[in-house]
Structure 1
């Protein structure tokens, strides 16, 4: 490839193909041949850009984790608007309605990938840990605005919401949960710390 832009295009093409295979067929079907076939390119293309298949998968995970940063900005910006429950339900639906659940399954499925990720992310599953940070940041902003109790334990609430949200969305072959089910779960988790907006 002649330019960095072209290389990036190939990487995105391969990442998008891997995502499609992962969503359609699950982590056991994700092979270098499946990815390059889905992307419509020669198998050697993947190996020109990545040291091996697990290096490719690690980069895929990090790329998808980085996308959470955009969601985090939007969720944080919603603090003080709408309802806390609605904002959290929407944020969790956006997060888990994407490829997030499939990425978690992939990390769980592949020992080599987990080992590779541990080199730079020693604790937790990268995507879930980043998602908990996103929810924690939002809850902190709402606490500062008085819509969450001042003594709310954000460090406990954020992973609880992520864990419960993941369980709601975890059935890859099933239909996504109804919006009402997501709101009900959020309401249950935060009911003890939710406060009326301060006027």
Structure 2
């Protein structure tokens, strides 16, 4: 493979290549050689941008967590519009219909990566914890708007929704669940707390 070929946005190309491998072949197939081969570059490119492979993987996870910020802001902004169940269904589908399930598998699969991430994220599973915060923030906004009952326990509802959503999407070889299946889980979890017509 030629080593003199410059990559534009090398980090992003390497991250995208890693995601493709994760989704297609799972975390056990993710090696530095597999990533650089998938990206179409020399192996040294990865090591020019990252101290080692675990540093690369940690940056990949942190980059994908940072992408959740935009999704979280959009979800918070949707409070008071549409239906609570519809907004949550869309958010969980966007979250787990992406590479997030594969990233969670990677974090669980690689002890060294998990240990490295624990240095800045000491509790919870990275990405899952941020997703739970995103859902909790939205639910809190809806409760403040009166579309959820005052007694709605956000600390229980948010992780229940995220965990249920993750389980629906966890089979990366299977067909993603239908929107109706996600919606059914959401409406079941929030039943009794919604003060709006359910759809």
TM-score by length of 1: 0.94
State the 1:196 CA deviation: 2.1
- The count of corresponding residues between Structure 1 and Structure 2 is 192
SS at structure 2 position matched to 1:122: coil
- 1:106 equivalenced with 2:106 (yes/no): yes
State the 1:100 CA deviation: 0.3
State the 1:161 CA deviation: 0.3
| Cα separation, partners in 2 of 1:118 and 1:8, compared to 1, 3 Å | farther
Cross-structure match for 2:24: 24
2 CA distance for matches of 1:143 and 1:7?
A: 48
2 CA distance for matches of 1:92 and 1:151?
A: 23
| Cα separation, partners in 2 of 1:88 and 1:8, compared to 1, 3 Å | farther
SS at structure 2 position matched to 1:126: coil
Cross-structure match for 1:9: 9
2 CA distance for matches of 1:87 and 1:103?
A: 23
- 1:196 equivalenced with 2:196 (yes/no): yes
Gaps of 5+ in 2: 1-5
- After superposition, the CA RMSD in angstroms is 1.3
TM-score by length of 2: 0.94
Q: Hey, which of these two has a bigger chunk of helix by percent? A: 1
State the 1:7 CA deviation: 8.7
2 CA distance for matches of 1:69 and 1:139?
A: 16
Cross-structure match for 1:164: 164
